[in-house]
Chains A and B, each alone.
Chain A
Amino acid sequence: MSIETRFSKPKSRRGAALRYVVLAGLGIALFSILFFRLWSLQVVTGDRYLAEANDNRIREVTVLAPRGRILDRDGEVLVDNRTSMAIQLDPLEIPEDGAERRKLFTSLGDVMGKDLKWVQRRYRSEIENSPPGSPATIARDVDDDIVYYVQENQADFPEVQINRVFVRRYQQGILAAHVLGSVGEVTAEDLEDPANADLEAGDTIGRAGIEQSYDEILRGQRGTTRLQVDSAGRVTGQLRAINPEPGDSVRLTIDSDVQAAGEAALSGIGLPGAFVTLDIDTGEVIGMGSNPTFDPAIFTRPLTQPQVDDLYSEETDAPLFNRAISASYPVGSVYKPITALAGLDAGIFTPSTVVQDAGLIEIADQIFTNAGSEPKGPVDLRKAMEVSSDVYFYKLGAEMNGSLQLQQWSRRFGIGVPTGIDLPGEAVGLLPTPEWRNELFAEGGTDRPWAIGDNVQLAIGQGDLQADPLQMAVAYAALGNGGRMVKPHTLLQSEDAAGRVIEEKQPEVNRTIEIDPVAREAIMAGLNDAAQAPLGTSYGVFGGFPVKVAGKTGTAERPPKGDQSWYVVLAPYPNPKIVTAVTVEEGGFGAEAAAPVALQILSAYFDREATTVSGGGGNVE
Chain B
Amino acid sequence: MESSRLPRTRPGRRATRLGLLDRAGLRHMDGWLAFSALGLILCSIYTLHQTSGQVIPGAPAYYTQRQAVYGLMGIVAMIAIARVDYSRFRELRVGIYTFLCASILTIFAFGVTSRGSTQSLDLPFFSFQPAELGKLLLVLSLAGFVIDGARRGSEKQRTVRYLALGLAPTGMVLLQDLGTSLVFAAITLAIMVAAGVRWSHLAVVGTGAVAFIAFVLVLMPMAGAPVLKDYQQERLTSFLSPTADIGGAGYQQNQAKVAAGSGGTTGRGDQATQSELGFVPERHTDFIFAVVAERYGFVGAALVLSLFALLFWRALRLMTLSKNLYGTLVAAGIAGSIMFQVFVNVGMNLGIMPITGIPLPLMSYGGSAIIATFLMIGVLQSIHIESRAGQRGPWSQ
Q: Check if A and B associate.
A: yes
Binding site for B on A (CB under 8 A): 3, 6-7, 12-13, 15-17, 19-20, 22-24, 26-27, 30-31, 33-35, 37-39, 41-43, 45-50, 52-54, 56-57, 228-232, 236
Residues from 258 to 316 in B contacting A, C-beta threshold 8 Å: 258-265, 268, 273-274, 277-279, 293-294, 297-298, 301-302, 305, 308-309, 312-313, 316
Which of A13, A16, A54 neighbours the largest number of chain B CB atoms within 10 Å of its CB?
Answer: A16
User: In the complex, which of the residues B279, B308, B335 contacts A231, with contact meaning CB atoms closer than 8 Å?
Assistant: B279
A27 and B312 form a contact (CB under 8 A): yes
Q: Within 8 Å of chain A (Cβ to Cβ): is B178?
A: no
Q: Which A residue sits closest to B261, measured CB to CB?
A: A49
The interface residues of chain B lying within 8 Å CB-to-CB of A34 are: 305, 342-343, 346-347, 350
**B264: which of A17, A19, A47, A236 is its contact (CB, 8 Å)?**
A47
Cβ–Cβ < 8 Å partners of A236 in chain B: 277
B336 on the A face (CB < 8 A) = yes
Q: Are B264 and A43 in contact (CB under 8 A)?
A: yes
Contact B350 A41 (CB under 8 A): yes
User: In the assembled complex, which residues on chain A have CB atoms less than 8 Å from the CB atom of B321?
Assistant: 6
From A23, A46, A53, contact of B274 by CB (8 A)? A53
B150 CB, nearest partner CB in chain A, Å: 8
Q: Contacts A12-B196, A16-B196, A23-B332; is A231 near B265 (CB within 8 Å)? A: no
Q: How far is the CA of A15 from the CA of B259 in the complex (A)?
A: 44
Tell me if B339 and A27 are in contact (CB < 8 A): yes
Q: In the bound complex, how far is the Cα of B158 from the Cα of A12, in angstroms?
A: 15
User: Would you call B257 an interface residue if the criterion is a C-beta within 8 Å of the partner chain's C-beta atoms?
Assistant: yes
B84 contacts partner chain A, Cβ-Cβ < 8 Å: no
Pairs A–B under 8 Å by Cβ, sample size 18? A12-B325, A16-B325, A23-B194, A27-B312, A30-B343, A35-B305, A38-B260, A38-B301, A39-B302, A43-B264, A43-B298, A48-B261, A49-B262, A50-B262, A54-B273, A56-B273, A57-B277, A232-B278
Interface secondary structure of A, over-half rule: helix
Contact check, A13 vs B325: say whether CB atoms are below 8 A apart: yes
The reply to whether the CB of B358 lies closer than 8 angstroms to some CB of chain A is: no
Given known A-B contacts A12-B196, A15-B196, A7 and B320 have beta carbons under 8 A apart: yes
Whether B350 pairs with A37 at a CB distance below 8 angstroms is: yes
CA distance in complex: A41, B320 (Å): 36
Please tell me if the beta carbons of A46 and B265 are within 8 angstroms of each other in the complex: yes
List chain B residues, Cβ under 8 A from A20.
194, 316, 319-320, 332
The reply on B249 being an interface residue by CB < 8 A is no
* B residues near A52, Cβ cutoff 8 Å: 258, 261-262
Out of A22, A41, A56, which one reaches B193, CB within 8 Å?
A22
Cα A37 to Cα B320 with chains together (Å): 30
CB distance from A295 to the nearest CB of B (A): 44
Contact of B261 among A16, A24, A27, A45 (CB under 8 A): A45
Distance in Å from the Cβ of B332 to the closest Cβ of chain A? 6
- A504 and B316 CA atoms in complex are apart in Å by 88
Asked whether, in the complex, the Cβ of A31 is within 8 Å of the Cβ of B264, the reply is: no
| B355: Cβ under 8 A from any A Cβ | no
Query: Is B352 at the interface (CB under 8 A from chain A)?
Result: yes
Taking the closest CB of chain B, its distance from the CB of A121, in whole angstroms, is 26
Known: A57-B273, A231-B278. A46 touches B305 (CB 8 A): no
**Residue B33 at the A interface, CB < 8 A?**
no
Q: Given the complex of chains A and B, what is the CA–CA distance between A39 and B257 in angstroms?
A: 13
Which B residues lie within 8 Å of A50 (CB)? 261-262, 264, 268
Cβ-defined contact, A53 with B193, below 8 A: no
User: How far is it, in angstroms, between the C-alpha of A6 and the C-alpha of B318 when the chains are bound?
Assistant: 12
Expressed in whole angstroms, the minimum distance between the Cβ of B25 and any Cβ of chain A is 25
When A and B form their complex, which 7 residue pairs have the shortest distance between CB atoms, in order from nearest?
Answer: A49-B261, A46-B264, A231-B278, A53-B262, A230-B277, A50-B262, A42-B298
A228 near B350 with CB under 8 A, answer: no
Q: Tell me whether A23 and B316 are in contact in the complex, defined as CB-CB below 8 angstroms, given that A16-B196, A34-B305, A56-B258 are known contacts.
A: yes
Q: How far is the CA of A23 from the CA of B301 in the complex (A)?
A: 24
B181-200: CB near A (< 8 Å → 1, else 0) gives 00000000010011010000
- Kindly list chain A residues whose C-beta atoms are within 8 Å of the C-beta of B264: 42-43, 46-47, 50
CA–CA, A138 and B39, complex, Å: 56
Interface presence of B67 (CB below 8 A): no
| Residues of B close to A41: CB separation below 8 A | 257, 260-261, 293, 350-351
Contact of A16 among B262, B273, B319, B339 (CB under 8 A): B319
Instruction: Decide: B350 and A43 in contact? CB cutoff 8 A.
Output: no
In contact, A16 and B328 (Cβ under 8 angstroms) = yes
**Additional 12 contacts, C-beta under 8 A, given A22-B193, A52-B258:** A6-B320, A19-B193, A20-B320, A26-B339, A27-B339, A34-B350, A42-B261, A42-B263, A42-B298, A49-B258, A228-B273, A231-B278
B193: shortest Cβ distance to chain A, in Å?
A: 6
A482 to B339, CA, bound (A): 101
Contact with A along B328-352 (1 / 0, CB 8 A): 1000100110010011001100111
Q: How far is the CA of A22 from the CA of B195 in the complex (A)?
A: 12
Given the complex of chains A and B, what is the CA–CA distance between A49 and B335 in angstroms?
33
How many angstroms between the C-alpha atoms of A49 and B255 in the bound complex? 10
What separation, in Å, do the CA atoms of A7 and B190 have in the docked complex? 19
C-alpha gap A144/B258 in the complex (Å): 40
> Is B258 a contact partner of A23 (Cβ separation < 8 A)?
no
* Given known A-B contacts A20-B316, A49-B257, A38 and B279 have beta carbons under 8 A apart: no
Q: Is the CB–CB distance between A19 and B194 below 8 Å? A: yes
Which A residue sits closest to B265, measured CB to CB?
A43
Cβ B328 vs Cβ A228 within 8 A = no
Contacts of A22 in B (CB 8 A): 193
* Cα-based distance from A229 to B190 in the complex (angstroms): 46
Contact code string B13-57 (vs A, CB < 8 Å = 1, else 0): 000000000000000000000000000000000000000000000
Smallest CB-CB separation from A39: which chain B residue?
B298
Q: Which residues of A contact B298 (CB under 8 A)?
A: 38-39, 42-43
Q: Which of B257, B265, B312, B320 contacts A31 (CB 8 A)?
A: B312
Q: Which of B257, B261, B309, B328 has the most CB of A within 10 A?
A: B261
Task: Provide the residues of chain A in CB contact with B294, threshold 8 Å.
Answer: 53
Please determine whether B259 and A31 come into contact, CB atoms closer than 8 angstroms.
Answer: no
Contacts of A228 in B (CB 8 A): 273, 277
A46 adjacent to B277 (CB under 8 Å): no
CA distance A562 to B316 in the complex (A): 108
Inside 8 A of B258's CB, which chain A residues have their CB? Answer: 49, 52-53, 56
Is the pair A23, B346 in contact by a Cβ cutoff of 8 Å?
no
Q: Across the interface, do A38 and B265 meet the contact criterion of CB distance under 8 Å?
A: no
Chain A residues with Cβ below 8 Å from B308 are 31
Q: How far is the CA of A424 from the CA of B44 in the complex (A)?
A: 70
- Chain A: minimal CB distance from B113 (Å): 22
How long is the Cα–Cα vector from A31 to B262 in the complex, in angstroms?
Answer: 21
In whole angstroms, what is the CA distance A71 to B243 when docked?
53
Query: CA of A50 to CA of B279 in the docked complex: distance in angstroms?
Result: 13
* Chain A residues with CB below 8 A from B274, complex form: 53, 56-57
Residue of B nearest to A55 (CB): B258
Contact call B259/A23, Cβ cutoff below 8 A: no
Tell me the smallest distance from the CB of A302 to a CB of chain B, in Å. 30
Cα A47 to Cα B263 in complex, Å, equals 9
Specify which of B262, B265, B335 lies most central, judged by the most chain A CB atoms within 10 Å of its CB. B262
Q: How far is the CA of A33 from the CA of B352 in the complex (A)?
A: 10
Compute how far the CA of A536 lies from the CA of B343 in the bound complex, rounded to whole angstroms. Answer: 106
Contacts of B346 in A (CB 8 A): 34, 38
A residues near B332, Cβ cutoff 8 Å: 19-20, 23
Q: Specify the chain B residue showing the minimal Cβ separation from A95.
A: B247
The answer to whether B261 touches A17 (Cβ under 8 A) is: no
Task: Tell me whether A23 and B335 are in contact in the complex, defined as CB-CB below 8 angstroms, given that A37-B352, A42-B298, A56-B273 are known contacts.
Answer: yes
> Which interface residue of A3, A34, A37, A43 has the most chain B CB atoms within 10 A?
A34
- When distances are taken between beta carbons in the complex, the residues of chain A under 8 Å from B277 are 56-57, 228-231, 236
| Shortest distance between the CB of B258 and any CB in chain A (Å) | 5
Quick one: which of B264, B294, B339, B342 has the most chain A CB within 10 A?
Answer: B264
Q: Are A56 and B312 in contact (CB under 8 A)?
A: no
Q: From B280, which residue of chain A is reached at the shortest CB distance?
A: A231
Q: Using CB atoms, name the residue of chain B closest to A232.
A: B278
Question: Closest CB-CB distance, B74 to chain A, in whole Å?
Answer: 23
Task: List residues of chain B with CB within 8 A of the CB of A37.
Answer: 347, 350, 352
